[in-house]
Amino acid sequence: MIVQNWDDYSPYFRREEFVCPCGCDQADMRINHMNKLLDARKIANVPFIILSGFRCRSYNHTIGGRAASDHVTGQGSDIRALDSSTYFEILSAAILAGFLRIGSNRGAIHLGNNPTNPQRVCWTYY
């Protein structure tokens, strides 16, 4: 199910943070993903700055994203993590909240939970 009531995620998250950047105004995030993200945010007790939320297929293709990206199903978010302490808090909270797909790059952590993609995986990308 897609999030309809963004107030359920306030004050931690707003719809605007998850809107596809192409201008299509889609923010079709899945409730199960957002609930886990909210749990992780509360556990970490640090701000989660969303770098990427929902991506329409067209935008995802344009930026070179994988066709099976968690983002196109509304089950992926990239969170800024600029220092090692914040990175640790987000990462450990994500695991405790039940995320089974975690990607890492310089300055960001991808949290995904699309069940059709491989589970219990961590990866790096640059």
**Whole-number pLDDT of residue 95:** 98
pTM above 0.85, yes or no: yes
Give one DSSP letter per residue of the chain, joined into a string: -B---GGGGTTT--GGGGS-TTTT-----BHHHHHHHHHHHHHHTS---EEE----HHHHHHTT--TT-GGGGT-EEEEE--SHHHHHHHHHHHHHHT--EEEEETTEEEEE--TTS-SSEEEE--
Domain count, the chain: 1
Rounded to an integer, the average pLDDT of 110-123 is: 96
pLDDT at residue 126, rounded to an integer: 72
Enclosing domain of residue 117: 6-124
- Using alpha carbons, select from 90, 94, 74 the residue that is nearest to residue 82: 90
> Within a domain: residue 90?
yes
What pLDDT is stored for residue 125 in this prediction? 84
Q: Give a yes or no: residue 97 inside a domain.
A: yes
CATH number at residue 92: 3.30.1380.10
Q: Distance between CA 112 and CA 122 in Å, rounded?
A: 10
Other C-beta atoms closer than 10 Å to the C-beta of 44 total: 20
Asked whether residue 14 is assigned to any structural domain, the reply reads: yes
* Tens of pLDDT, residues 26-82: 999 999 999 999 999 999 999 999 999 999 999 999 999 999 999 999 999 999 998
